A and B are shown apart, each in its own frame.
Chain A
Amino acid sequence: MMNHDARINAQAAEGRMKKKREVIKESRCAAKLAPQDSQLKKIMAYGDTLNDGWMQLSFTLPVTKGELAKQAAIQLAGKMGLEDVGVVFMQELDPRFTFFIIYGRCQHTIDLSTIKVVEAQVERMDYYQINAYIEEKIGRKIIAVGACTGSDAHTVGIDAILNMKGYAGEYGLERYPWFEVYNMGSQVPNEELVAKAIELNADVILVSQIVTQKNIHIDNLTELADLLEAEEIRDKVVLIVGGPRISHKLAVELGYDAGFGPGTLPADVGSFAAVEVAKRIAANDSEANQSTS
């Protein structure tokens, strides 16, 4: 262990020396101009010095612990673009499996100016602002139906957003006086969810997908979107999905209005839902006006 640490420190020092000139140059630039993140063209991982590239990773190889296994791990890290690779820890998990903790300096750089980001465009309001917004812009309660669909039995996500008590100190949407919430719970077939949404004339459908093994969530989410299209209510409802492996980008690709990932709070969803429902109503009204005029 000590040897590895010592080696890594030595390498780090050496790396720092090499990069010193560049770093000074860049930090001077930074002082002058302070570029936006989106203007940065050569970003490297950061350990304790700009552009040192240090990162840590851990993985298991299905190989017996020994020098051969270690060299294999170093080569694998090399193929990932790591240099000065140090295996700081190696452990037999089973006679044929070895676990590694590795440090190395990643040589890859990233050009941020070429990255396009898709995010749900919401100005986040709080509990009071959301309720006031709905009262003013919509003038009636927003009806929301939520469920964990398909075979998914994990209600942790949907409950965090909907339940009275909410999550991380924020009330769930059930507590909002201007939301009328129906939480259908777990393992709800898509057909039942759609039927309920039609019955209640829902404004918002919230789906939670926690189980993502073998991409089962993709099939399930696609099916729901298709069903709503088939019932011709897709345009009427704001369709939202949440879950640990859900991104807004993925959700939009699947035909949803928004996707919320880990760390989402009830007010994030509430804000989005309120604004979108208001938009739909406004759009419908103008459509109605056009057809009558």
Chain B
Amino acid sequence: MSSYEEMTGKLNLDPRVIARARHAAKQIAAQVQRETEKYTTTAVERTVARLFGIDGVNEDGVPLPNVVVEHIHQHCDLARGAAIWIGAAIAAYSLSPQQVAEQITVGKLKLGKEPRAALSQGEEIATDLARHAATKIAARRQERTALIARLGEGEWPLLYLIVATGNIYEDVTQAKAAARQGADIIAVIRSTAQSLLDYVPYGATTEGYGGTYATQENFRIMRAALDEVGEEIKRYIRLVNYCSGLCMPEIAAMGAMERLDMMLNDAMYGILFRDINMQRTFIDQHFSRMINGFAGIIINTGEDNYLTTADAYEAAHTVLASDLINEQLALSAGLHSEQLGLGHAFELNPDLEDGLLYEIAQAEMTRQIFPDAPLKYMPPTKYMTGNIFKGYLMNHMFNFVGVLTGQGIQLLGVPVEAIHTPFMHDRWLAIDSAKYVFNNARHLRNEIYYRPGGKIEQRAQRVLQQAVDLLEKIEKIGLTKAIEEGTFADIKRRYDGGRGRVGVVEKSKDYFNPFFSLFMVSSEEDR
């Protein structure tokens, strides 16, 4: 590569324009951060309870973290955070965190009446519990590093496949088969509507709709299965789930404890596509990302979804703008660039003349603007029909662009998209042919220059310029206002609208959450 190309990439993108875009995104993220820092949520506090080791459900099936946080909300002061109250109860009654929860739920224990001394002792106890939790998560992270070093991993683009039977044990069969066939990453599709549950279901799922619930037990079952097949085929198989919805940070904590490797974890997805309250989402995403960052988990953002509602040609710049905002929000939560599977998609109308050129422009541009991020590249969905034969071809146009532009995480399309969840052979067809495309065009990327002033270069430059303009506009009006105006995905959401707003609590001056400093500091040291 010439030094000129090093600076401007294959598309002759002006580094000053990129810097401007990033600067605006940073300001936008900082504004959001300043606003969210004043609040906590019931989900954040339940996460603290989980990290302290509180788990299980009561007689009515209510998860104990919900019981404890509801109890504190009613009888104590959640504005100070759950940690201090749990710590105080431990100090006052010599119980374990789990025992505290169990006694609360049967009505044997009522918090808020601990002596003053117990409260100050509680802070120390909570800090110790938090350190213990962080040590455990760090150990799981090291375990991953060691396994990858010993077993090895797939080549970029990594092959990402979904399993979605609704029965975790059947999912195991599908996932192991996919791994043997060549999958590098297995995503267990989550049951429809979990994102709107304000609690995390408990136990193994055997009858889910459209997927299984994200539960700690399901995580454990699939982790064990993928570790087993990984040993067999001598390749580390990564596990993905959904860290989104009303329980974002709780799922992050569960994933960190069960060594998940990737999480779908977007800063705005819940607001736009699930109508979850904006404030709630911004607070929850921050803590969840802090946990993901510390646990060494790669996050996947959901910009690909914008193009299922907005037009991929006209709205291409909103994807880039959102990628840049997601990047800044992630960095401010302690994630590293290498952990950012920023999302984008191959969703142009297949009838569009030169559509492939524009797809290449977008993918190459994204690659260049985020050089250290793995990037999550999503297959066509919007224009997939019941014509599985054409769909198969569209998927491989997408695979070709993936390898040509050096994407990190390639979610393989299956020909039966838009019909039903993949059968075992649909997954094999996708893997076998993706391997063919990737292998056959492996180093084409190194041989290619795009014609200066040509269609691809011009398209990328235009999209970048539009993204800068949009980001600078959002910087002026604020992200909240931008979402209210329907900037992303053609969807408008009000600041005070949506689900889960009731779980937002303003922090008091003596709010205490030992994980904030622990996760952020350790994450900094890591750099």
Residues of A within 8 A of B (CB): 58-60, 91, 93-94, 97, 99, 151-153, 155-156, 159, 163-165, 168-169, 185-187, 211, 213-214, 216, 244, 262-263
Stretch from B73-81, B103-111, B192-200 that touches the partner:
B192-200
- A155 vs B374: C-alpha distance in the bound complex, in angstroms? 28
**Are B177 and A94 touching (Cβ within 8 A)?**
yes
Known: A60-B425, A93-B428, A211-B210. A156 touches B275 (CB 8 A): no
**Are B309 and A213 touching (Cβ within 8 A)?**
no
Q: Is B379 part of the binding interface, using a Cβ–Cβ cutoff of 8 Å?
A: no
By a CB distance below 8 angstroms, the chain B residues around A97 are 177, 424
Stretch from B3-11, B18-26, B381-389 that touches the partner:
B381-389
**What are 5 A-B residue pairs whose CB atoms fall within 8 Å in the complex?**
A58-B425, A99-B424, A156-B381, A159-B308, A165-B490
Distance between B371 CB and nearest chain A CB, rounded to angstroms: 33
- A97 vs B425: C-alpha distance in the bound complex, in angstroms? 9
For residue B427, which residue of chain A has the nearest CB?
A93
By a CB distance below 8 angstroms, the chain A residues around B382 are 156
- A164 vs B491: C-alpha distance in the bound complex, in angstroms? 11
Selected contact of B385 from candidates A185, A213, A214, A262, CB within 8 Å: A262
**Are B428 and A211 touching (Cβ within 8 A)?**
no
- A211 vs B180: C-alpha distance in the bound complex, in angstroms? 29
Q: Which B residues from 147 to 188 make CB contacts under 8 A with A?
A: 166, 173, 176-177, 180-181
B398-427 near A? 1/0 per residue, CB < 8 Å? 000000000000000000001101011100
For residue B164, which residue of chain A has the nearest CB?
A213
For residue A150, which residue of chain B has the nearest CB?
B193
- A93 vs B209: C-alpha distance in the bound complex, in angstroms? 25
By a CB distance below 8 angstroms, the chain A residues around B349 are 168-169
By a CB distance below 8 angstroms, the chain A residues around B177 are 93-94, 97
**Are A153 and B193 touching (Cβ within 8 A)?**
yes
By a CB distance below 8 angstroms, the chain A residues around B309 are 155, 159, 163
Q: Is B311 part of the binding interface, using a Cβ–Cβ cutoff of 8 Å?
A: yes
Known: A187-B193, A244-B418. A213 touches B209 (CB 8 A): yes
Q: Is B450 part of the binding interface, using a Cβ–Cβ cutoff of 8 Å?
A: no
Known: A151-B192, A155-B309, A187-B193. A211 touches B490 (CB 8 A): no
Q: Is B274 part of the binding interface, using a Cβ–Cβ cutoff of 8 Å?
A: yes
By a CB distance below 8 angstroms, the chain A residues around B386 are 244, 262
**Are B192 and A152 touching (Cβ within 8 A)?**
yes
Distance between A161 CB and nearest chain B CB, rounded to angstroms: 12
**Are B209 and A216 touching (Cβ within 8 A)?**
yes
Selected contact of A186 from candidates B210, B274, B423, B490, CB within 8 Å: B274
Q: Is B93 part of the binding interface, using a Cβ–Cβ cutoff of 8 Å?
A: no
- A216 vs B273: C-alpha distance in the bound complex, in angstroms? 21
By a CB distance below 8 angstroms, the chain B residues around A163 are 309, 490
Q: Which B residues from 180 to 225 make CB contacts under 8 A with A?
A: 180-181, 192-193, 195-196, 207, 209-210
- A279 vs B487: C-alpha distance in the bound complex, in angstroms? 39
- A124 vs B209: C-alpha distance in the bound complex, in angstroms? 36
By a CB distance below 8 angstroms, the chain B residues around A213 are 166, 209-210, 421
- A168 vs B383: C-alpha distance in the bound complex, in angstroms? 9
**Are A156 and B308 touching (Cβ within 8 A)?**
yes
Residues of B within 8 A of A (CB): 166, 173, 176-177, 180-181, 192-193, 195-196, 207, 209-210, 273-275, 308-311, 349, 381-382, 385-386, 418-419, 421, 423-425, 428, 490-491
Number of interchain pairs (Cβ within 8 Å): 75
For residue B176, which residue of chain A has the nearest CB?
A94
- A247 vs B310: C-alpha distance in the bound complex, in angstroms? 27
- A91 vs B491: C-alpha distance in the bound complex, in angstroms? 45
By a CB distance below 8 angstroms, the chain A residues around B193 are 151, 153, 187
By a CB distance below 8 angstroms, the chain A residues around B421 are 213
By a CB distance below 8 angstroms, the chain A residues around B274 are 153, 186-187
**Are B490 and A164 touching (Cβ within 8 A)?**
yes
By a CB distance below 8 angstroms, the chain B residues around A152 are 192
Known: A151-B193, A244-B419. A186 touches B209 (CB 8 A): no
- A168 vs B351: C-alpha distance in the bound complex, in angstroms? 9
Distance between A208 CB and nearest chain B CB, rounded to angstroms: 13
By a CB distance below 8 angstroms, the chain B residues around A211 are 192, 209-210
By a CB distance below 8 angstroms, the chain B residues around A156 are 308, 381-382
- A198 vs B176: C-alpha distance in the bound complex, in angstroms? 51
The 6 closest A-B pairs by CB, nearest first: A151-B193, A94-B177, A99-B425, A151-B192, A60-B425, A93-B428
- A94 vs B181: C-alpha distance in the bound complex, in angstroms? 8
- A178 vs B210: C-alpha distance in the bound complex, in angstroms? 37
By a CB distance below 8 angstroms, the chain A residues around B385 are 262-263
- A151 vs B191: C-alpha distance in the bound complex, in angstroms? 9
By a CB distance below 8 angstroms, the chain A residues around B166 are 213-214
A58-B425, A60-B425, A155-B309 are known; give 7 further A-B pairs, CB within 8 A: A93-B177, A93-B428, A94-B173, A151-B209, A152-B192, A155-B308, A216-B209
- A35 vs B477: C-alpha distance in the bound complex, in angstroms? 68
Tell which of A165, A186, A213 has the most Cβ of chain B within 10 Å: A213
For residue A100, which residue of chain B has the nearest CB?
B425
**Are B311 and A165 touching (Cβ within 8 A)?**
yes
By a CB distance below 8 angstroms, the chain B residues around A99 are 424-425, 428
- A53 vs B177: C-alpha distance in the bound complex, in angstroms? 35
- A7 vs B419: C-alpha distance in the bound complex, in angstroms? 33
Selected contact of B428 from candidates A91, A153, A186, A262, CB within 8 Å: A91
Known: A151-B192, A156-B381, A213-B209. A93 touches B424 (CB 8 A): yes
For residue B165, which residue of chain A has the nearest CB?
A213
- A277 vs B378: C-alpha distance in the bound complex, in angstroms? 41
Known: A94-B177, A156-B308, A159-B309. A60 touches B424 (CB 8 A): yes
- A169 vs B352: C-alpha distance in the bound complex, in angstroms? 11
Known: A94-B176, A187-B274. A165 touches B425 (CB 8 A): no
Tell which of A153, A163, A263 has the most Cβ of chain B within 10 Å: A153
**Are B310 and A165 touching (Cβ within 8 A)?**
yes
By a CB distance below 8 angstroms, the chain B residues around A94 are 173, 176-177, 180-181, 424
By a CB distance below 8 angstroms, the chain A residues around B181 are 93-94
- A33 vs B421: C-alpha distance in the bound complex, in angstroms? 46
Known: A60-B424, A99-B425, A165-B490. A153 touches B275 (CB 8 A): no
**Are A60 and B180 touching (Cβ within 8 A)?**
no
- A80 vs B424: C-alpha distance in the bound complex, in angstroms? 22
By a CB distance below 8 angstroms, the chain A residues around B310 are 165
For residue B193, which residue of chain A has the nearest CB?
A151
Distance between A77 CB and nearest chain B CB, rounded to angstroms: 16
For residue B383, which residue of chain A has the nearest CB?
A168
Selected contact of B423 from candidates A60, A155, A168, A185, CB within 8 Å: A60
**Are A93 and B425 touching (Cβ within 8 A)?**
yes
